A = this chain, B = another copy of it.
Protein backbone atom coordinates (compact mmCIF):
# COMPACT_ATOMS: atom_id res chain seq x y z
CA UNK A 1 0.00 0.00 0.00
CA UNK A 2 2.80 2.42 0.93
CA UNK A 3 4.62 1.25 -2.18
CA UNK A 4 1.58 1.80 -4.41
CA UNK A 5 1.09 5.27 -2.95
CA UNK A 6 4.71 6.16 -3.61
CA UNK A 7 4.32 4.88 -7.19
CA UNK A 8 1.31 7.16 -7.73
CA UNK A 9 3.12 10.20 -6.34
CA UNK A 10 6.24 9.44 -8.35
CA UNK A 11 4.40 8.92 -11.62
CA UNK A 12 2.90 12.36 -11.07
CA UNK A 13 6.06 13.94 -9.70
CA UNK A 14 5.69 17.70 -9.30
CA UNK A 15 1.92 17.51 -9.71
CA UNK A 16 -0.84 17.18 -7.17
CA UNK A 17 -2.68 13.91 -6.74
CA UNK A 18 -5.97 14.28 -4.89
CA UNK A 19 -6.88 12.24 -1.84
CA UNK A 20 -9.96 11.09 -3.76
CA UNK A 21 -7.86 9.73 -6.66
CA UNK A 22 -5.59 7.88 -4.26
CA UNK A 23 -8.46 6.55 -2.21
CA UNK A 24 -10.23 5.31 -5.38
CA UNK A 25 -7.20 3.70 -6.94
CA UNK A 26 -5.79 2.08 -3.82
CA UNK A 27 -9.15 1.38 -2.27
CA UNK A 28 -8.32 2.80 1.13
CA UNK A 29 -9.53 5.44 3.58
CA UNK A 30 -8.31 9.04 3.86
CA UNK A 31 -6.91 8.16 7.30
CA UNK A 32 -4.86 5.30 5.87
CA UNK A 33 -3.47 7.62 3.18
CA UNK A 34 -2.52 10.16 5.79
CA UNK A 35 -0.76 7.51 7.86
CA UNK A 36 1.33 6.38 4.88
CA UNK A 37 2.12 9.97 3.85
CA UNK A 38 3.45 10.50 7.37
CA UNK A 39 5.56 7.38 7.15
CA UNK A 40 7.01 8.43 3.80
CA UNK A 41 7.81 11.87 5.21
CA UNK A 42 9.52 10.23 8.18
CA UNK A 43 11.64 8.24 5.73
CA UNK A 44 12.77 11.48 4.11
CA UNK A 45 10.32 12.01 1.27
CA UNK A 46 9.32 15.63 0.99
CA UNK A 47 5.59 15.67 0.25
CA UNK A 48 3.48 18.79 0.08
CA UNK A 49 -0.15 18.56 1.22
CA UNK A 50 -2.56 21.27 0.12
CA UNK A 51 -6.25 21.28 0.96
CA UNK A 52 -8.55 20.59 -1.99
CA UNK A 53 -5.58 19.88 -4.26
CA UNK A 54 -4.05 16.85 -2.56
CA UNK A 55 -0.48 15.59 -2.28
CA UNK A 56 2.59 16.42 -4.28
CA UNK A 57 5.99 14.71 -4.15
CA UNK A 58 8.74 17.32 -4.13
CA UNK A 59 11.92 15.36 -3.50
CA UNK A 60 12.78 11.82 -2.55
CA UNK A 61 15.68 10.66 -0.40
CA UNK A 62 18.46 8.32 -1.50
CA UNK A 63 17.02 5.10 -0.09
CA UNK A 64 17.33 1.43 -1.01
CA UNK A 65 14.04 0.40 0.56
CA UNK A 66 11.76 -1.94 -1.42
CA UNK A 67 9.27 0.87 -2.16
CA UNK A 68 12.00 3.13 -3.53
CA UNK A 69 13.82 0.42 -5.48
CA UNK A 70 10.57 -0.87 -6.97
CA UNK A 71 10.20 2.51 -8.72
CA UNK A 72 13.17 1.54 -10.87
CA UNK A 73 12.98 -2.20 -11.45
CA UNK A 74 10.89 -2.02 -14.59
CA UNK A 75 9.43 -4.96 -16.46
CA UNK A 76 11.89 -7.69 -15.61
CA UNK A 77 11.62 -10.33 -12.90
CA UNK A 78 14.95 -9.53 -11.24
CA UNK A 79 14.34 -7.44 -8.14
CA UNK A 80 10.62 -8.19 -7.97
CA UNK A 81 11.22 -9.88 -4.61
CA UNK A 82 13.24 -7.68 -2.27
CA UNK A 83 14.44 -8.40 1.24
CA UNK A 84 15.65 -5.15 2.78
CA UNK A 85 17.45 -4.70 6.10
CA UNK A 86 18.77 -1.39 7.40
CA UNK A 87 21.88 -3.08 8.78
CA UNK A 88 23.18 -6.62 8.32
CA UNK A 89 26.41 -8.51 8.73
CA UNK A 90 26.39 -9.50 5.08
CA UNK A 91 23.66 -9.58 2.45
CA UNK A 92 25.32 -12.74 1.07
CA UNK A 93 24.56 -14.67 4.27
CA UNK A 94 20.89 -13.77 4.12
CA UNK A 95 20.67 -14.56 0.41
CA UNK A 96 22.33 -17.97 0.98
CA UNK A 97 19.73 -18.77 3.60
CA UNK A 98 16.88 -17.63 1.34
CA UNK A 99 18.31 -19.71 -1.51
CA UNK A 100 18.45 -22.79 0.70
CA UNK A 101 14.80 -22.16 1.57
CA UNK A 102 13.94 -22.13 -2.13
CA UNK A 103 13.76 -18.40 -2.98
CA UNK A 104 13.01 -17.72 -6.64
CA UNK A 105 15.53 -16.55 -9.20
CA UNK A 106 15.75 -12.78 -9.22
CA UNK A 107 15.22 -12.38 -5.47
CA UNK A 108 17.49 -9.68 -4.08
CA UNK A 109 18.73 -8.76 -0.62
CA UNK A 110 19.58 -5.12 0.06
CA UNK A 111 21.04 -3.44 3.09
CA UNK A 112 21.78 0.16 3.88
CA UNK A 113 24.85 -0.95 5.80
CA UNK A 114 26.89 -4.12 6.17
CA UNK A 115 28.84 -4.66 9.36
CA UNK A 116 30.76 -7.66 7.99
CA UNK A 117 30.69 -7.19 4.23
CA UNK A 118 32.78 -9.72 2.34
CA UNK A 119 34.72 -9.56 -0.89
CA UNK A 120 36.37 -12.34 -2.82
CA UNK A 121 38.33 -15.01 -0.90
CA UNK A 122 36.85 -13.94 2.43
CA UNK A 123 38.30 -10.46 2.34
CA UNK A 124 36.56 -7.59 4.08
CA UNK A 125 34.56 -5.02 2.12
CA UNK A 126 33.82 -1.66 3.73
CA UNK A 127 30.08 -1.06 3.50
CA UNK A 128 29.18 2.05 5.50
CA UNK A 129 25.61 3.18 5.99
CA UNK A 130 23.74 5.08 3.32
CA UNK A 131 26.58 5.47 0.85
CA UNK A 132 26.76 2.44 -1.39
CA UNK A 133 24.95 -0.49 -2.89
CA UNK A 134 25.29 -3.67 -0.89
CA UNK A 135 23.20 -6.20 -2.74
CA UNK A 136 22.91 -9.94 -3.23
CA UNK A 137 21.04 -11.50 -6.12
CA UNK A 138 19.86 -15.10 -6.29
CA UNK A 139 20.18 -16.77 -9.70
CA UNK A 140 19.34 -20.34 -10.65
CA UNK A 141 20.98 -20.93 -14.01
CA UNK A 142 20.67 -24.34 -15.61
CA UNK A 143 24.30 -24.49 -16.68
CA UNK A 144 27.10 -26.92 -15.82
CA UNK A 145 29.32 -26.07 -12.89
CA UNK A 146 32.29 -25.68 -15.21
CA UNK A 147 30.60 -22.64 -16.69
CA UNK A 148 29.81 -20.82 -13.45
CA UNK A 149 32.84 -18.50 -13.70
CA UNK A 150 31.28 -17.12 -16.88
CA UNK A 151 28.56 -15.60 -14.72
CA UNK A 152 31.05 -13.44 -12.83
CA UNK A 153 32.17 -12.00 -16.14
CA UNK A 154 28.59 -11.51 -17.28
CA UNK A 155 27.76 -9.62 -14.08
CA UNK A 156 30.86 -7.47 -14.44
CA UNK A 157 29.80 -6.45 -17.95
CA UNK A 158 26.24 -5.71 -16.78
CA UNK A 159 27.37 -3.59 -13.83
CA UNK A 160 29.82 -1.70 -16.03
CA UNK A 161 27.07 -0.99 -18.57
CA UNK A 162 24.66 0.13 -15.84
CA UNK A 163 27.23 2.53 -14.37
CA UNK A 164 27.84 3.99 -17.80
CA UNK A 165 24.14 4.37 -18.48
CA UNK A 166 23.39 6.20 -15.24
CA UNK A 167 26.55 8.28 -14.88
CA UNK A 168 28.13 8.42 -18.34
CA UNK A 169 31.38 7.21 -16.77
CA UNK A 170 33.23 4.22 -18.20
CA UNK A 171 34.09 1.54 -15.68
CA UNK A 172 36.73 -0.94 -16.81
CA UNK A 173 36.75 -4.57 -15.73
CA UNK A 174 39.77 -5.99 -13.95
CA UNK A 175 39.74 -9.77 -14.14
CA UNK A 176 37.88 -11.44 -12.67
CA UNK A 177 35.53 -9.29 -10.67
CA UNK A 178 36.53 -5.69 -10.06
CA UNK A 179 35.27 -2.53 -11.72
CA UNK A 180 37.70 0.35 -11.92
CA UNK A 181 37.27 4.02 -12.73
CA UNK A 182 40.53 5.81 -13.44
CA UNK A 183 42.33 2.77 -12.10
CA UNK A 184 40.52 2.78 -8.74
CA UNK A 185 38.03 0.23 -7.53
CA UNK A 186 34.42 1.36 -7.55
CA UNK A 187 32.66 -1.99 -7.44
CA UNK A 188 33.37 -5.63 -6.68
CA UNK A 189 31.45 -8.75 -7.53
CA UNK A 190 31.41 -11.91 -5.48
CA UNK A 191 29.90 -14.98 -7.11
CA UNK A 192 29.13 -17.80 -4.71
CA UNK A 193 27.49 -21.12 -5.42
CA UNK A 194 25.40 -23.79 -3.88
CA UNK A 195 25.96 -26.72 -6.18
CA UNK A 196 26.32 -30.39 -6.84
CA UNK A 197 29.25 -31.57 -8.89
CA UNK A 198 27.01 -31.69 -11.94
CA UNK A 199 24.28 -29.17 -11.27
CA UNK A 200 24.00 -25.71 -9.80
CA UNK A 201 21.37 -25.19 -7.12
CA UNK A 202 21.87 -21.45 -6.91
CA UNK A 203 24.34 -18.71 -7.62
CA UNK A 204 24.45 -15.93 -5.06
CA UNK A 205 25.86 -12.82 -6.68
CA UNK A 206 27.10 -10.17 -4.29
CA UNK A 207 27.54 -6.70 -5.71
CA UNK A 208 29.23 -4.00 -3.70
CA UNK A 209 29.37 -0.53 -5.21
CA UNK A 210 30.71 2.71 -3.83
CA UNK A 211 28.15 5.31 -4.86
CA UNK A 212 28.03 8.42 -2.71
CA UNK A 213 31.11 8.12 -0.54
CA UNK A 214 33.35 11.15 -0.37
CA UNK A 215 37.10 10.70 -0.06
CA UNK A 216 36.88 11.19 3.70
CA UNK A 217 34.68 8.10 3.98
CA UNK A 218 37.45 5.74 2.89
CA UNK A 219 39.91 4.35 5.41
CA UNK A 220 43.64 5.05 5.13
CA UNK A 221 44.21 1.53 3.81
CA UNK A 222 42.07 1.86 0.73
CA UNK A 223 41.96 5.58 0.00
CA UNK A 224 44.50 5.25 -2.81
CA UNK A 225 42.85 2.28 -4.46
CA UNK A 226 39.13 2.96 -3.96
CA UNK A 227 36.76 5.52 -5.39
CA UNK A 228 33.03 6.17 -5.66
CA UNK A 229 30.69 7.23 -8.44
CA UNK A 230 30.13 10.55 -6.64
CA UNK A 231 33.86 11.26 -6.48
CA UNK A 232 34.36 10.42 -10.15
CA UNK A 233 31.18 12.06 -11.41
CA UNK A 234 31.35 15.00 -9.05
CA UNK A 235 27.72 14.66 -8.01
CA UNK A 236 25.56 12.35 -5.88
CA UNK A 237 23.56 9.55 -7.51
CA UNK A 238 20.36 7.76 -6.55
CA UNK A 239 21.29 4.31 -5.42
CA UNK A 240 17.84 2.91 -6.21
CA UNK A 241 18.12 4.11 -9.81
CA UNK A 242 21.48 2.38 -10.19
CA UNK A 243 20.13 -0.82 -8.64
CA UNK A 244 17.26 -0.80 -11.13
CA UNK A 245 19.66 -0.33 -14.03
CA UNK A 246 22.06 -3.01 -12.76
CA UNK A 247 19.27 -5.57 -12.42
CA UNK A 248 17.86 -4.73 -15.81
CA UNK A 249 21.29 -5.06 -17.50
CA UNK A 250 22.00 -8.35 -15.70
CA UNK A 251 18.65 -9.78 -16.71
CA UNK A 252 19.09 -8.78 -20.35
CA UNK A 253 22.59 -10.25 -20.63
CA UNK A 254 21.54 -13.34 -18.73
CA UNK A 255 18.75 -14.11 -21.16
CA UNK A 256 21.08 -13.55 -24.08
CA UNK A 257 23.62 -15.84 -22.38
CA UNK A 258 21.14 -18.64 -21.74
CA UNK A 259 19.95 -18.49 -25.33
CA UNK A 260 23.11 -17.82 -27.29
CA UNK A 261 25.90 -18.80 -24.94
CA UNK A 262 29.03 -17.05 -23.80
CA UNK A 263 30.27 -15.64 -27.13
CA UNK A 264 28.54 -12.26 -26.95
CA UNK A 265 29.36 -11.84 -23.26
CA UNK A 266 32.98 -12.63 -24.00
CA UNK A 267 33.18 -9.92 -26.66
CA UNK A 268 31.51 -7.38 -24.38
CA UNK A 269 33.83 -8.37 -21.55
CA UNK A 270 36.96 -8.10 -23.67
CA UNK A 271 35.88 -4.68 -24.93
CA UNK A 272 35.67 -3.45 -21.34
CA UNK A 273 38.62 -5.33 -19.91
CA UNK A 274 41.26 -3.23 -18.23
CA UNK A 275 44.07 -5.76 -18.26
CA UNK A 276 43.99 -7.28 -21.75
CA UNK A 277 47.17 -6.80 -23.73
CA UNK A 278 48.84 -5.36 -20.66
CA UNK A 279 51.74 -6.70 -18.71
CA UNK A 280 50.38 -8.05 -15.44
CA UNK A 281 51.32 -10.24 -12.53
CA UNK A 282 48.90 -12.94 -11.44
CA UNK A 283 49.50 -13.75 -7.79
CA UNK A 284 47.97 -16.85 -6.20
CA UNK A 285 48.69 -19.29 -3.38
CA UNK A 286 50.76 -21.40 -5.73
CA UNK A 287 53.02 -18.53 -6.78
CA UNK A 288 52.99 -15.63 -9.18
CA UNK A 289 53.38 -15.35 -12.92
CA UNK A 290 54.15 -12.18 -14.87
CA UNK A 291 53.32 -11.78 -18.51
CA UNK A 292 50.91 -10.37 -21.04
CA UNK A 293 47.17 -10.93 -20.56
CA UNK A 294 46.05 -12.51 -23.84
CA UNK A 295 42.33 -12.93 -23.27
CA UNK A 296 39.86 -15.22 -21.61
CA UNK A 297 38.79 -18.69 -22.63
CA UNK A 298 35.23 -19.85 -23.16
CA UNK A 299 35.27 -20.98 -19.57
CA UNK A 300 36.28 -17.62 -18.16
CA UNK A 301 39.89 -18.61 -17.58
CA UNK A 302 42.48 -15.86 -18.04
CA UNK A 303 45.31 -16.65 -20.47
CA UNK A 304 48.67 -15.19 -19.59
CA UNK A 305 51.75 -15.42 -21.82
CA UNK A 306 54.99 -15.34 -19.86
CA UNK A 307 58.36 -14.08 -21.11
CA UNK A 308 59.24 -17.51 -22.50
CA UNK A 309 56.13 -17.54 -24.64
CA UNK A 310 54.44 -20.12 -22.45
CA UNK A 311 50.71 -19.53 -22.05
CA UNK A 312 49.34 -20.09 -18.55
CA UNK A 313 45.69 -20.70 -17.67
CA UNK A 314 44.79 -18.60 -14.64
CA UNK A 315 41.77 -19.89 -12.77
CA UNK A 316 42.08 -17.76 -9.65
CA UNK A 317 44.54 -15.02 -8.79
CA UNK A 318 45.00 -11.41 -7.88
CA UNK A 319 46.07 -9.27 -10.77
CA UNK A 320 48.68 -6.60 -10.25
CA UNK A 321 50.15 -4.15 -12.70
CA UNK A 322 53.93 -4.01 -12.26
CA UNK A 323 55.29 -0.48 -12.30
CA UNK A 324 57.11 0.11 -15.58
Contact of A315 among B121, B198, B315 (CB under 8 A): B198
In the assembled complex, A310 has its CB within 8 A of some CB on chain B: no
Copies of this chain in the oligomer? 2
Distance of A301 Cα from B145 Cα, bound (Å): 11
CB distance from A188 to the nearest CB of B (A): 12
Contact stretch, chosen from A73-81, A148-156, A245-253: A148-156
Pairwise interchain contact A142-B193, C-beta atoms closer than 8 A:
no
Distance of A197 Cα from B151 Cα, bound (Å): 8
Q: Which residues of B contact A120 (CB under 8 A)?
A: 196, 198-199
Q: Which residues 104-146 of A have a CB within 8 angstroms of B?
A: 120-121, 142, 144-146
Pairwise interchain contact A193-B196, C-beta atoms closer than 8 A:
yes
Distance of A258 Cα from B19 Cα, bound (Å): 70
Binary flags per residue of A146-183, CB closer than 8 Å to B gives 1, else 0: 10110110000000000000000000000011000000
In the assembled complex, A50 has its CB within 8 A of some CB on chain B: no
Pairwise interchain contact B198-A192, C-beta atoms closer than 8 A:
no
In the assembled complex, A293 has its CB within 8 A of some CB on chain B: no
CB distance from A155 to the nearest CB of B (A): 9
Beyond A199-B316, A316-B199, whether A146 also contacts B299 by CB under 8 A is: yes
Pairwise interchain contact B315-A152, C-beta atoms closer than 8 A:
no
Q: Which residues of B contact A142 (CB under 8 A)?
A: 285
In the assembled complex, A243 has its CB within 8 A of some CB on chain B: no
Q: Which residues of B contact A149 (CB under 8 A)?
A: 145-146, 197-198
Binary flags per residue of A183-197, CB closer than 8 Å to B gives 1, else 0: 000000011111111
Pairwise interchain contact A152-B192, C-beta atoms closer than 8 A:
no
CB distance from A144 to the nearest CB of B (A): 4
Distance of A121 Cα from B197 Cα, bound (Å): 10
Q: Which residues of B contact A299 (CB under 8 A)?
A: 146
Pairwise interchain contact B316-A198, C-beta atoms closer than 8 A:
yes
Q: Which residues of B contact A148 (CB under 8 A)?
A: 145, 195, 197
Pairwise interchain contact B146-A315, C-beta atoms closer than 8 A:
yes
CB distance from A99 to the nearest CB of B (A): 12
Distance of A149 Cα from B196 Cα, bound (Å): 9
A–B pairs, 8, beta carbons within 8 Å: A145-B146, A145-B149, A145-B315, A176-B197, A193-B193, A193-B194, A193-B195, A197-B300
Given contact pairs A145-B149, A146-B149, A190-B196, a sample of 17 additional A-B residue pairs in the complex whose CB atoms are under 8 Å apart: A120-B196, A120-B199, A121-B199, A145-B146, A145-B193, A146-B146, A146-B299, A176-B197, A176-B198, A177-B197, A191-B196, A191-B197, A192-B194, A192-B196, A192-B197, A193-B196, A194-B194
